[in-house]
């Protein structure tokens, strides 16, 4: 029999058209047993069946959308059943911006689950977002797939989930570096504008590098302005996080932006990541526009 503690159960859900099928294929490649379209009321039964046998699988991934989540009683009942078995499922919530979802539906020519003669695609997507908000607010990871190709989603999800599965429970902190010229992450709880920091972009020797390089980090963070700011910024974040945790907040996404998302935001994000890891936080990082800047 498999140990409950060593066998993760992941629920993959989110806005229709945002990449659930691709995400499940990623988990399949990671060694998970994957089922799509399973009613939430059956999730505990499936988990129990797999736990009773010696399995070659690393975990169980369940794909659920509007049709399977049986709002809201079915979802809450399923969580209670899993909790009674000692299982707290991790929830991956996928979403994308409205124009991109409309474009994807136009490409595939499929109907949205809520679409009807009296409800067009735009309104159906808006209604779905509203119904799914309670699940989104408690998800372990919210992933905006607007700018991702299928291959981008696969790469990002593999990297993120490998990091997440190593973390303990409790409030999760996700750090995103980004470029304002490419757009602010929609999932951000806090957005910090770092465009006042010294910019390596204008140094021809530093321009090709990124904030992952020590020389860029030194340029940005060891200047007088960079050093003073980074110290105060980290003090603020580490002061703020426990207050949100005390209020029962489950997940915080911090977005740090500069012009192109390659130098300054990446440097500060990496510095914050190191600090939060040392303090024991469950923290992950994403450099969303680093290769574009």
Q: Are 74 and 66 in contact (CB under 8 A)?
A: no
- Do the annotations mark residue 16 as ligand-binding? yes
Residue 210 has pLDDT above 90, yes or no: yes
Give residue 60's pLDDT: 87
**Residue with more model confidence, 237 or 3:** 237
Q: Are 100 and 122 in contact (CB under 8 A)?
A: no
Residue 169 has pLDDT above 50, yes or no: no
**CATH fold of 9-166:** Rossmann fold (3.40.50)
- Label the pairing between strands 32-36 and 90-95: unpaired
Q: Are 283 and 276 in contact (CB under 8 A)?
A: yes
Q: CA 241, CA 237: separation in Å to the nearest integer?
A: 6
- Do the annotations mark residue 18 as ligand-binding? yes
- Do the annotations mark residue 280 as ligand-binding? no
Supply 134's token pair: 């309670």
Overall pTM surpassing 0.85 (yes/no)? no
**Could you report the per-residue pLDDT of 262-274, keeping only the tens digit for each?**
999 999 999 999 9
**Could you report the per-residue pLDDT of 180-195, keeping only the tens digit for each?**
999 999 889 999 999 9
- Do the annotations mark residue 240 as ligand-binding? no
As a whole number, the mean pLDDT across the chain is 85
**Domain range annotation of the chain:** 9-166, 174-287
- Do the annotations mark residue 66 as ligand-binding? yes
Kindly give, in sequence order, each residue whose CB lies less than 8 Å from that of residue 25, ignoring residues fewer than 6 positions away.
34, 154
**Could you report the per-residue pLDDT of 226-260, keeping only the tens digit for each?**
999 999 999 999 999 988 877 767 789 999 999 99
Residue 44 has pLDDT above 70, yes or no: yes
Residue 160 has pLDDT above 90, yes or no: no
Kindly give, in sequence order, each residue whose CB lies less than 8 Å from that of residue 236, ignoring residues fewer than 6 positions away.
none
- Do the annotations mark residue 19 as ligand-binding? yes
Task: Map residue 257 onto helix, strand or coil.
Answer: strand
- Do the annotations mark residue 271 as ligand-binding? no
Counted residue by residue, the chain has a size of: 293
Residue 113 has pLDDT above 70, yes or no: yes
- Do the annotations mark residue 15 as ligand-binding? yes
Give residue 68's pLDDT: 62
| Ramachandran angles phi, psi of 114, nearest 5° | -100, 0
- Do the annotations mark residue 17 as ligand-binding? yes
**Could you report the per-residue pLDDT of 116-147, keeping only the tens digit for each?**
767 788 888 898 898 888 888 888 888 899 98
User: Confidence band (pLDDT; 50, 70, 90) for 1?
Assistant: very low
- Do the annotations mark residue 14 as ligand-binding? yes
Element (H, E) at 74: helix 73-84
Q: CA 186, CA 178: separation in Å to the nearest integer?
A: 11
Supply 85's token pair: 């078995």
Give residue 69's pLDDT: 61
User: Confidence band (pLDDT; 50, 70, 90) for 5?
Assistant: low
What strands lie across the sheet with 190-193, from one edge to the other? 190-193, 251-258, 172-179, 282-287
Kindly give, in sequence order, each residue whose CB lies less than 8 Å from that of residue 62, ignoring residues fewer than 6 positions away.
9, 10, 11, 12, 34, 35, 36, 38, 43, 46, 89
**Could you report the per-residue pLDDT of 56-100, keeping only the tens digit for each?**
788 889 888 877 666 566 777 888 888 888 888 888 999 999 999
């Amino acid at each position: 029999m498999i140990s409950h503690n060593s066998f993760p159960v992941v629920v993959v859900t989110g806005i229709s058209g945002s990449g659930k099928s691709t995400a499940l294929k990623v988990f399949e490649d990671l060694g998970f047993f994957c089922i799509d379209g399973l009613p939430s009321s059956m999730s505990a039964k499936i988990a129990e069946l797999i736990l009773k046998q010696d399995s070659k699988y690393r975990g169980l991934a369940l794909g659920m959308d509007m049709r399977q989540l049986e709002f809201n009683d079915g979802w809450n009942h399923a969580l209670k059943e899993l909790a009674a078995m000692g299982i707290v499922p991790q929830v991956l919530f996928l979403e994308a911006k409205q124009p991109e979802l409309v474009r994807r539906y136009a490409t595939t020519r499929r109907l949205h689950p809520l679409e009807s003669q009296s409800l067009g695609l735009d309104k159906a997507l808006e209604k779905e977002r509203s119904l799914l908000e309670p699940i989104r607010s408690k998800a372990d990871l919210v992933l905006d797939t607007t700018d991702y190709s299928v291959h981008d989603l696969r790469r990002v999800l593999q990297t993120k989930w490998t990091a997440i599965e190593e973390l303990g429970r409790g409030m999760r902190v996700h750090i995103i570096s980004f470029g304002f010229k490419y757009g602010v992450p929609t999932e951000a709880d806090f957005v910090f504008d770092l465009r006042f920091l010294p910019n390596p972009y204008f140094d021809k020797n530093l321009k090709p590098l990124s904030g992952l390089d020590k020389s860029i980090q030194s340029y940005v963070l060891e200047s007088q302005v960079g050093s003073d700011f980074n110290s105060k910024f980290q003090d603020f974040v580490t002061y703020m996080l426990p207050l949100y945790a005390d209020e029962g907040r489950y997940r915080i996404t911090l977005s740090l932006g500069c012009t192109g998302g390659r130098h300054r935001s990446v440097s500060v994000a990496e510095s914050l990541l190191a600090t939060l890891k040392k303090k024991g936080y469950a923290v992950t990082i994403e450099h969303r526009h680093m290769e574009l800047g």
